[in-house]
């Protein structure tokens, strides 16, 4: 009986968090994108698609700010002809969309959406699988999505989709290195790979980018400024991690694999109907999960902060603790805010050239993330090392960084003017 209850709880978490919370964010993100881009470009955006009450005899339709537009898009994609070209490699052609969308949804299982919910005196975590290797699991599973895009380009038997697939392979593998290195300082600071424990630490001791309460604040920990000094490598890690998430999700300004001006539509040129929709869904689902990871690691996850989380956790209605649901609302608000940041960047920053993309990943971010690991380790170990050893370590790190910058500058090929 206990096993059956446990399985039902797990099933409820899977259905609730994946298909009720995350998946609906995909069409909502599309709506936000269209409305936000309309505001940026001084347009109206989708505002007419609603409930056609005139068909039922009413005098006016109920537009509801165009919120039914994503539903209309979904119905359109369902009803379009599912056309498969004769020249494609059919097995891999059909497999590729699933390999794109499934990894993005599987990574949901380790993201903590809120604090514990108390039911009949039993605490239930708002996370599907509370693994002790959360970030490693996310990186391992999300890296599989590159196979879907590569197979889509190769199986289409067309040169433009193939170029898009090759571009995506190089881009995603390049930025996975910077992505992994950028999160190392965060894991060094918390000393834990469990995402739930990382969020709980931030709730009690200040967010990584906002260390203003708990043991992170010098006025509460006896004058220890380690958390405040760590803010420098934390910001560097945040910038590299966020930019790498943009590249991993193929979002502007890094959408080179589907660059319309060069590759028609990129790796999904030969796809239509729901197979195309699955690529679309995979991109937006990856954007949602990327936003959730940034919020979890750097912005406190479900924590509202400033010592309010303990009081929120005590909230209850009819004997059921609802603090976890309040925290989940806080978490979703942060995720939506970061999704809006994704959209803002897309409509304000122009697309990179491919050589600029590769240079940013390999020449700048890789070295910066590696140096940042040593800087973070030095900040964490400074109280044990003492002032003289820490100053020596900083001087050595500065010399190595300067030498590395000099080598990169010298090795750059300068453009030679060509006479006509």
> Contact at 8 Å (CB) between 114 and 327?
yes
**Cα–Cα distance between 229 and 69 in angstroms, integer?**
47
Q: Kindly give, in sequence order, each residue whose CB lies less than 8 Å from that of residue 344, ignoring residues fewer than 6 positions away.
A: 36, 40
Nearest CA to 154 out of 214, 67, 95, 213 is that of 95
Residue at 242 is within a domain: yes
Specify the DSSP class assigned to residue 41. Answer: T
Residue at 411 is within a domain: no
Per-residue pLDDT tens listing for the chain (420 residues): 677 777 887 788 888 888 888 888 888 888 888 888 888 888 877 777 777 777 777 777 777 777 777 788 778 888 887 777 788 888 888 888 888 888 888 888 888 888 877 777 777 788 888 888 888 898 888 888 888 888 888 888 887 788 878 877 888 888 888 888 999 999 998 888 888 889 888 888 888 888 887 777 777 777 778 888 888 899 999 999 998 888 888 777 777 666 655 556 677 777 878 888 888 888 888 888 889 999 999 988 888 888 787 888 777 777 667 778 888 888 999 999 988 888 888 888 887 777 888 888 888 888 889 989 988 888 888 878 777 877 888 888 888 888 888 887 777 766 555 555
Instruction: Count how many domains the chain has.
Output: 1
Structure tokens at 386: 């003492």
Residue at 183 is within a domain: yes
Cis peptide, bond prior to residue 253, ω within 30 of zero: yes
Structure tokens at 186: 């965060």
Residue at 58 is within a domain: no
Residue at 31 is within a domain: yes
Residue at 203 is within a domain: yes
The interaxial angle of helices 231-248 and 159-190, nearest 10 deg, is: 160
Residue at 118 is within a domain: yes
Residue at 392 is within a domain: no
| Burial of 336 per CB tally in 10 Å (0-12, 13-18, 19+) | middle
Q: Kindly give, in sequence order, each residue whose CB lies less than 8 Å from that of residue 384, ignoring residues fewer than 6 positions away.
A: none
The interaxial angle of helices 159-190 and 145-155, nearest 10 deg, is: 170
**Cα–Cα distance between 189 and 226 in angstroms, integer?**
10
Q: Residue 416: its pLDDT value, please?
A: 59
86-114 per-position pLDDT tens digit: 888 888 888 888 888 888 888 888 888 88
**Cα–Cα distance between 369 and 378 in angstroms, integer?**
14
Domain range for residue 286? Answer: 2-49+90-385
């Amino acid at each position: 009986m206990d096993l059956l209850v446990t399985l039902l709880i797990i099933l409820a978490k899977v259905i609730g968090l994946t298909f009720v919370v995350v998946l609906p964010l995909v069409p909502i993100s599309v709506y936000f994108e269209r409305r936000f881009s309309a505001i940026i470009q001084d347009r109206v955006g989708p505002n007419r698609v609603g409930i056609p009450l005139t068909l039922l005899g009413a005098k006016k339709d109920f537009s509801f700010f165009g919120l039914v537009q994503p539903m209309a898009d979904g119905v359109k994609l369902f009803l379009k002809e599912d056309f498969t070209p004769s020249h494609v490699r059919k097995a891999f052609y059909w497999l590729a969309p699933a390999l794109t969308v499934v990894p993005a949804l599987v990574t949901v299982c380790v993201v903590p959406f809120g604090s514990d919910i108390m039911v009949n005196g039993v605490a239930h975590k708002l996370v599907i699988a509370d693994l002790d290797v959360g970030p490693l699991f996310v990186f391992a599973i999300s890296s599989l999505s590159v196979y879907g895009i590569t197979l889509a380009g190769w199986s289409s038997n067309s040169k433009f989709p193939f170029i898009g697939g090759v571009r995506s392979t190089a881009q995603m593998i390049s930025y996975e290195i910077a992505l992994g290195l950028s999160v190392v300082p965060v894991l060094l600071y918390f000393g834990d790979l469990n995402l739930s424990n990382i969020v709980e630490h931030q709730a009690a001791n200040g967010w990584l980018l906002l260390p203003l309460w708990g043991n992170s604040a010098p006025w509460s920990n006896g004058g220890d400024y380690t958390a405040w000094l760590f803010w420098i490598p934390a910001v560097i890690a945040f910038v590299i991690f966020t930019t790498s998430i943009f590249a991993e999700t193929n979002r502007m300004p890094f959408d080179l694999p589907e660059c319309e001006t060069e590759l028609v539509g990129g790796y999904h040129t030969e796809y239509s109907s729901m197979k195309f929709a699955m690529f679309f869904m995979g991109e937006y689902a990856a954007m949602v999960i990327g936003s959730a990871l940034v919020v979890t690691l750097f912005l406190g996850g479900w924590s509202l902060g400033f010592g309010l989380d303990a009081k929120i956790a005590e909230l209850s209605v009819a004997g059921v603790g609802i603090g976890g649901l309040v925290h989940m609302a806080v978490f979703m608000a942060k995720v939506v805010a970061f999704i809006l940041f994704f959209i803002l960047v897309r409509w304000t920053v122009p697309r990179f050239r491919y050589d600029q993309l590769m240079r940013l990943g390999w020449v700048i971010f890789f070295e910066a993330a590696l140096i940042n690991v040593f800087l973070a380790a030095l900040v964490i170990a400074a109280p044990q090392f003492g002032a003289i050893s820490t100053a020596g370590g900083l001087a050595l790190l500065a010399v190595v960084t300067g030498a590395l910058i000099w080598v990169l500058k010298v090795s750059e090929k300068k453009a030679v003017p060509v006479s006509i």
